[in-house]
Amino acid sequence: MFEHETDLIITSIRQRTPGNNDVIAIKDILAADIPHAIKTFFRADVQTMLTEELEKYQTNSRFRYDHPEVQSLQTQINSILVLHYSYKHKEYLQRLSDIVHLMVNYLIRPQWTLTNALFEREQSISYSAVLHFLNYFGPYEYLRDIIIRYIHDKRISTVTKDEFASLIWRVDGEYIKRKSGDELARVLFPIYDFFDFPKKSGNNALPIKALMKYFDDKGLTNVHSRLEGILAQGITEMNRRELGEMLEDIRRTSGAFEAEKKVDTAEIKSDIAPVIQVQHQTKDDQPPLQEAVQKPSTSPASPVLIEDSDRRRFVKKIFKHDELGYLATIETLNTFPSWKQASTYIDEIFIQNDIDPYCSEAKRFIEVVYQRYYPRK
C-alpha cells in the first residue's frame, strides 16, 4: 500500500532539496518546499547527534559548561551547528528513504508505530527518553502534548512497552471520544496533507484500506466495519469531506466514538530509532493558586467565579478529593488565552483522573470554563 505514492514523495523531496554532488545541508532541507514532518524529523535527527557528541566531550571536562551564561551561548551555537550540518549525498538519500517510510507508518498507524519504534531495543525506558523521542514526530501534535503532560504531571521516571501502549491507547481514545464526525475527519488532516504532496490539490482521496488501518489502530471497530462494507461495494477511495460525512452518520447512529482496547505488540525492524540518553527532570514548583477562572487578559469582562456547590462537586468527583490538584488546574486554566487550549487541557485532566467526559460533573466543569471565553449574554 502507498508504494507508488511513497516513491513519488521521496523523488519529489530529492528534487526539491538543493545541494552539490557531495553534501546536503540541514539549512537547505529546512528551507525546501517539502512536507513539514520530514523537516521536523531531520532536524531532530541532527540535534540528537550533536547532543550526544557534546555530552561525550563535556563529561570529563573541567570547564563550567553548566554555567547559565555558557548554556545560553551554547544554545545559540548549537542552533548554528545544526543548521550547517551536512549529510553526505548517499547518506542523505538512505536517511530520506528511511524517514519517509517510517512517517508513512506513523501517519497510518500512530499508536503502533510510536510504541514499536520507541521500544525497538528496550522493554523499559526513561521518561526523558520518551520526551526526546517524541520530538521526531511532528504530526498529531495532540498525542505528543497530552503524553508529555501526563508523564510530567504523574512524575513517571520510567515506562514499559505495555504501559506506554496502554497509555497512548487511552489518551487517543479519550481525545476522539467527544469529537463530531467532521472533527474526527479533521484529525486525519496530516495524512491527507502528506499524501497530497507534491500536487497540493487540497481535495485528494485516500485508499479505503489505508483508512481501515488507521481506525483499526485506534480501536474504532464500528468505523472499520463501515469502511469494509464500502470497500465491498467497489469504492476504493474517500476524500476528507466524504469521510467526515460517513463518521458523523456513524456517530449519530451508534453514539460517541468508543475505542476498543487492542494492543498490537508486534515489533518492527528499523534503524530510525536513535540512541537516546537518559536525562533526569523534576517538576517545577507550582505558582500561587487562584480559585476563579479568570477571563483572558484581552477581555474586559469580570472573572467567572466557581460557586461553592460546583467547587465541592468538582473536587470530589473530578479530582478525587485532591483540593490542591483542583486549585492547580484552575491556575493553569487561567493562563490559556483561547478555548481551544483550555479544552485540550481539560481533556488531559479527564484522562489523568479517569473521568467520564459525559458525566454531569464533567459537563458542568466544561460549561463553567467555556463561559470564560464565551459568556452568556
Three-state SS string over 90-144 comes to HHHHHHHHHHHHHHHHHHHCHHHHHHHHHCCCCCEEEHHHHHHHHCCCCCCHHHH
- Cα separation, 6 vs 8, whole angstroms: 5
| Confidence at residue 334, expressed as pLDDT on a 0 to 100 scale | 79
Res 302 pLDDT > 70: no
Between residues 335 and 258, which one has the greater pLDDT?
A: 258
Start-to-end Cα distance in the chain: 53
| Identity of the highest mean pLDDT range in 201-215, 268-282, 336-350 | 201-215
Nearest Cα neighbor of 191 from 208, 169, 214, 163 is: 214
Instruction: Please give the biggest Cα pair distance in the chain.
Output: 71
| Confidence at residue 293, expressed as pLDDT on a 0 to 100 scale | 55
Res 376 pLDDT > 70: no
pLDDT tens by residue, 194-244: 999 998 888 899 999 999 999 999 999 999 999 999 999 999 999 999 999
Spell out a b/e string for 333-354, using b for 16 or more CB atoms within 10 Å of the CB, else e. Answer: bbebeeeeebebbbbbbbbbee
| Confidence at residue 276, expressed as pLDDT on a 0 to 100 scale | 29
Between residues 184 and 122, which one has the greater pLDDT?
A: 184
| Confidence at residue 1, expressed as pLDDT on a 0 to 100 scale | 64
| Confidence at residue 153, expressed as pLDDT on a 0 to 100 scale | 78
| Confidence at residue 104, expressed as pLDDT on a 0 to 100 scale | 94
Placement of cell 472533527 in the chain:
183
Res 68 pLDDT > 80: yes
> How does residue 287 score in pLDDT terms, banded at 50, 70 and 90?
very low
Res 266 pLDDT > 60: no
Q: Which residues pair with 160 in a beta bridge?
A: 124
Give Cα separations from 180 to 187, 344, 362 (angstroms): 11, 15, 18
Between residues 86 and 357, which one has the greater pLDDT?
A: 86
Indicate the burial class of 93 (C-beta count within 10 angstroms; 0-12, 13-18, 19 or more). Answer: middle
pLDDT tens by residue, 108-160: 999 999 999 888 888 888 888 888 889 899 899 888 888 888 887 777 788 89
Give me the amino acid identity at 354: D
Chain centroid, CA 193 distance in Å: 16
Q: Which residues contact 3 (CB under 8 A, 6 or more apart)?
A: none
E-assigned strands of the chain? 23-25, 86-88, 124-126, 158-160, 205-207, 237-239
